[in-house]
Structure formats: C-alpha cells, structure tokens
C-alpha cells in the first residue's frame, strides 16, 4: 500500500488487509488473463482468508472451527 498516514492516524489490521486485497484485485482487473493475474487474485484470496482467521482468533467467543 502506498498511501502515507499522518503520525496520529491509525487503521486496524483488518482494514489494512481488506485494502490490500482490494488493491490486488484492482491490479488484476486491468491485466490480461495469465500467470501474473492469477497470482494477484490468489494473493487477494489468501489475504481474505487471513482476515477471517484473524477475526476468528480475536473473537471473544473463540470456538473450534466446524
């Protein structure tokens, strides 16, 4: 992510993950079908999963996955 933040400004981990996934999908959208586009979309999905795992791990009612 290339946006600069001021010293007092912060964003959550989940927000930063979501923004990175969006950025990767936007990059992929402008590319022709191929390996690089597939890699960008795969990375975006991995980031989505990381956000879901983090949400699960930080939830107050932590339960085993079903």
Residue range(s) defining the domain that contains residue 39: 31-60
8-state DSSP, 17 = H
Write out pLDDT tens, residues 21-38: 999 999 999 899 999 999
| Residue 37 Cα distances to 15, 18, 41, 43, 63, angstroms | 23, 18, 6, 10, 36
Distances (CA, A) of 46 to 15, 23, 32: 15, 13, 21
Tell me the whole-structure pTM to 2 decimals.
0.72
d(CA 16, CA 56): 17
Residue 26 in any domain: the answer is no
pLDDT in tens, 49-65: 999 998 888 888 766 66
Residue 20 maps to a domain: no
pLDDT at 1: 44
Count up the domains in the chain and report the number.
Answer: 1
């Amino acid at each position: 992510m290339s946006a600069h933040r001021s010293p007092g400004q912060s964003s959550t981990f989940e927000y930063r993950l979501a923004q990175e996934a969006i950025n990767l999908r936007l990059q992929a959208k402008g590319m022709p079908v191929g390996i690089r586009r597939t890699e960008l979309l795969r990375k975006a999905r991995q980031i989505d999963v990381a956000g879901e795992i983090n949400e699960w791990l930080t939830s107050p009612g932590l339960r085993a996955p079903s």
